[in-house]
Amino acid sequence: MKRCVCLLLCLCLLLSGCGENPAEPRFRDFCARLNAAEGLRLTAKLRAEYEDKSVRFTLAYEEDGEGGRVTVLEPELIRGVSARVAPGATTLEYDSVVLDTGSLDAFGLSPLSAIPVLLHALRVGHAESFWEEDGETVLQLAPDDRLLCTVWFETGGMLPRRAELITDGHVAVFMEISDFVLDDA
């Protein structure tokens, strides 16, 4: 009898370790705040990896009830070019200027659509896995069958700090995120 009780207690202890990762409820809270926000702002330094080159941009992003707007901060040559943008867009139009950054994959991912793609993944993506790395919470999201997003969060405030957008089996966009602010409802 004592042996059965000991085995049952050991089994209970083992099964209790199979529960939810402590980062999951914090991520769910972040998603709820993101989805309820009236708007948001962030700055992102991007490095996009094409087959034959890497390109860098610094972008400001603002979102309100009417959609998102991306503004180029760097490179200096096109600083201030700004437009509404959505996932899948590869061009920015401003007056008569058209800037085509090209597509990073067969599905239309571009440096200029990377922020909206990331935000979409944060809003609707399935969390594949969670882990801790250098004091940050990291998770991998799968918003659909063709894209994976790895996001590093500041553990305390659960704000995104870095992200990688992975498509066609390789990292297509590296992103450093700063000044992430949610305008709460």
Instruction: Classify residue 80: in a domain, yes or no.
Output: yes
Domain tally, the chain:
1
Q: Where are the beta strands (DSSP E) in 16-96?
A: 39-49, 54-64, 67-74, 82-84, 91-94
- Burial (CB < 10 A; 0-12, 13-18, 19+), residue 156, is exposed
CA dist 76 to 58, 71, 100, 172, Å?
10, 12, 16, 23
Total-model pTM: 0.80
Instruction: Classify residue 15: in a domain, yes or no.
Output: no
pLDDT at residue 102, rounded to an integer: 59
Report whether 109 contacts 100 (CB < 8 A). Answer: no
Instruction: Classify residue 164: in a domain, yes or no.
Output: no
Instruction: Classify residue 14: in a domain, yes or no.
Output: no
The domain containing residue 31 runs over which residues? 23-124+169-180
Report whether 164 contacts 118 (CB < 8 A). Answer: no
Instruction: Classify residue 142: in a domain, yes or no.
Output: no
Instruction: Classify residue 96: in a domain, yes or no.
Output: yes
Per-residue pLDDT tens listing for the chain (185 residues): 545 444 444 444 444 445 567 788 999 999 999 999 999 999 999 999 988 899 999 999 999 887 889 999 999 988 988 878 654 444 545 555 555 565 656 556 888 889 999 999 999 988 999 999 998 999 999 988 889 999 999 977 889 999 999 998 899 999 999 999 999 86
| Phi, psi angles (nearest 5°) of residue 13 | -65, -40
Whether a cis peptide bond, with omega within 30° of 0, leads into 22 is no
Percent helix, strand, coil in the chain, to 5, is: 25, 50, 30
Structure tokens at 165: 């957008």
